[in-house]
Structure formats: C-alpha cells, structure tokens
C-alpha cells in the first residue's frame, strides 16, 4: 500500500472566526503503482487533500500513512525530509526556479533528497522531450515545456507517490495530452503511485481508476 488515509479530518478557520470543515475521509487507499484521477467540484477540498497527504498542511486528526510511514507523527523537519525523498509533486503553476536552467531545476529537486544525479536528470529531460532545452531557464521556455520540466523534476527523486494538482490546467490542449502521458508513463516505469486532480473529463478518462471526492469525503458529517 503506498497511501492509506483513515478518519482524516481538516477544518479551516474562517475569516469570521468559525470553523469550515473541508475534509472528513473515513478511508482512502492507493496500492503501489496505482494511478488515480481525483475529480470534484470547485472548493470541495481536492487541493487540501493533496496538501494533507504531502504533509504541507497538517490534518486535525486521523492517520495518513505514505509508503509505510505515519506522516502525522513526524516532526516538521522530518516531514519535509520525507516529502523530499518519497513524494513527487507537480503543481498547476509549475513552481520552477526562474533563475535556474531546466537541468539545474531537476538537479535541485534531487539535491533536496541528497542524491543529485546529472545523468539521470538529463535522461529524464530527454524522456520528456527536452534534451534540446537543458540550458534554457523557465522564462525562455513555453508553458508546456515548463510543465514538462516540472514533471521531470518531480520524478527526479524517484518518489514512491506522485501528487499532481491540475498539472494541465495552464497548458494548451496539444501539450495537455503530452504532459499527462509523460506523467503517467514516467510513474508507470518507476512504479510510482499517482494521484492526480483534474477538472478535465478527457484527462480523467485516461485513468484506470477515477474517484469523485464527494463520494468518500463527508465534511459535514458528525461522529
């Protein structure tokens, strides 16, 4: 099992002072290597769920086991280290460092987990069709190219779990297909589980398993 959530709850404090319950997930699991598309209405809590799994946002209660480790029990520095080593993340907005080249961005992602490997970084950029863009910086690349660098960077630390939050939202139609299949293929080759949030029915249709958040998340429910 690469991911197992049990009784996970998360509320946010609203500007008015009240609490807004966003997550109440009794059970959600991914087996190693599984690829799942997560869909659901805007504001439903999809990003919150990914952030809780990544340990970026702390859950209020419940158990979150990633690759055998209960991440809610880790200290913040240990959680950051765990994320760098075991979890790959692709954001809607890429989050590349603009002053660094494509190759450096991939190498930097690897160095956070302590295993920067130039040959592997180049191979990943080649895999995503960017061997001719190794020394370009993000502002010198198209949006689709930047997202492909982000995919290569996320695969760079050979994670056990890949989390992708609408990775094709800002990419044109031609590149959407490309980014998605690179992400899926890359995860498949490295036996990485993939949980991908999307609003696109076409993107979701490519996945063997599609989950609607509202079906397993009941934030209003009381015990």
| Residues of this chain that bind ligand ATP (CB under 6 A) | 12, 20, 22, 40, 42-48
The count of residues in the chain is: 223
Measured between alpha carbons, how far is 108 from 110 in angstroms, rounded to an integer?
A: 5
3-state secondary structure at position 128:
coil
- Residue 63 is inside which H or E element, if any? strand 61-66
3-state secondary structure at position 143:
helix
Least separation in angstroms between CB 198 and ligand ATP: 10
Least separation in angstroms between CB 93 and ligand ATP: 12
Nearest CB to ligand ATP, comparing residues 12 and 216: 12
Kindly state the tokens that stand for 175: 């590149």
Nearest CB to ligand ATP, comparing residues 52 and 183: 52
Q: Torsion angle of alpha carbons 127, 114, 70, 165, nearest 10°?
A: -40
Least separation in angstroms between CB 13 and ligand ATP: 7
Nearest CB to ligand ATP, comparing residues 60 and 85: 60
Helices then strands, counting H and E runs in the chain, come out as 8, 9
Question: What 8-state DSSP symbol labels residue 195?
Answer: E
Measured between alpha carbons, how far is 49 from 70 in angstroms, rounded to an integer?
A: 16
Least separation in angstroms between CB 48 and ligand ATP: 3
Q: Where are the alpha helices (DSSP H) in the chain?
A: 46-54, 76-86, 102-111, 118-127, 143-156, 173-189, 201-205, 213-216
Nearest CB to ligand ATP, comparing residues 40 and 167: 40
Least separation in angstroms between CB 130 and ligand ATP: 28
Nearest CB to ligand ATP, comparing residues 48 and 105: 48
Least separation in angstroms between CB 114 and ligand ATP: 31
Nearest CB to ligand ATP, comparing residues 157 and 198: 198
């Amino acid at each position: 099992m690469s991911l197992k959530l049990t009784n996970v709850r998360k509320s946010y404090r609203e500007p008015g002072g009240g609490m807004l319950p966003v997550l109440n997930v009794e059970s959600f699991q991914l087996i190693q290597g599984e690829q799942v598309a997560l869909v659901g209405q805007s504001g439903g809590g999809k990003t919150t769920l990914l952030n809780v799994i990544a340990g970026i946002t702390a859950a209020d209660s419940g158990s979150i086991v990633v690759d055998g480790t209960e991440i809610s029990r880790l200290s913040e520095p240990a959680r950051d280290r765990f994320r760098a080593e075991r979890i790959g993340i692709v954001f809607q907005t890429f989050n590349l460092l603009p002053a660094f080249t494509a190759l450096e961005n991939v190498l930097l992602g690897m160095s956070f987990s302590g295993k920067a490997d130039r040959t592997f970084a180049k191979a990943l950029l080649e895999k995503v069709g960017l061997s001719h863009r190794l020394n370009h910086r993000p502002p010198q690349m198209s949006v689709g190219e930047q997202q492909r660098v982000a995919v290569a960077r996320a695969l760079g630390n050979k994670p056990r779990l890949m989390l992708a939050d609408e990775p094709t939202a800002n990419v044109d139609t031609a590149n959407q297909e490309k980014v998605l299949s690179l992400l899926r293929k890359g995860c498949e080759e490295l036996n990485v589980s993939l949980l991908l949030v999307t609003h696109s029915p076409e993107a979701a249709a490519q996945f063997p398993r599609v989950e609607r958040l509202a079906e397993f998340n009941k934030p209003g429910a009381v015990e």
